[in-house]
């Protein structure tokens, strides 16, 4: 989907958020990383990009493996620490790829994630059924 106007308020499906939290827990202490797919303004799915490298303090996407898919709107990754604030590397990624980005921090629950726009500014995402 090509977005013809900026999204005012992003939403995320509850099941998608649960999957993100569980994948982050499962990957701990390594970072989990995926891309976000949306239908209109609702994030609905995760895209696991082949070749993504996950370490204790980083996750590196292999963007040459990125399919041509205009429904991919951003990224999600976990931090094995209790801090969901973006690093300099995160901000660089946000600025280059996508409109919305989620960081999930330890302990990977409904209260330990934050969302950011492409400029690295914190935004609110509504969780929907």
* Residue 101, helix vs strand vs coil: strand
Q: Is 22 a catalytic residue?
A: no
CA angle 30, 36, 42 (to 5 degrees): 135
Choose, from 8, 22, 31, 122, the residue flagged as catalytic: 31
The DSSP element (H or E) to which 27 belongs, if any, is: helix 14-27
How many whole angstroms separate alpha carbon 34 and alpha carbon 47?
A: 6
Q: Which residues are catalytic?
A: 31
């Amino acid at each position: 989907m090509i977005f013809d106007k900026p999204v005012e308020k992003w939403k995320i499906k509850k099941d998608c958020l649960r999957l993100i939290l569980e994948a982050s827990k499962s990957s701990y202490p390594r970072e989990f990383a995926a891309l976000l797919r949306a239908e209109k303004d609702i994030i609905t799915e995760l895209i696991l990009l082949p070749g993504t490298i996950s370490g204790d303090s980083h996750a590196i996407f292999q963007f040459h493996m990125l399919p041509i898919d205009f429904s991919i709107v951003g990224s999600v990754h976990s931090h094995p620490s209790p801090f969901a604030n973006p690093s300099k590397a995160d901000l660089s990624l946000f600025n280059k790829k996508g409109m919305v980005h989620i960081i999930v921090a330890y302990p990977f629950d409904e209260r330990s994630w934050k969302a950011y726009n492409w400029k690295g500014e914190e935004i609110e995402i509504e969780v929907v059924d």
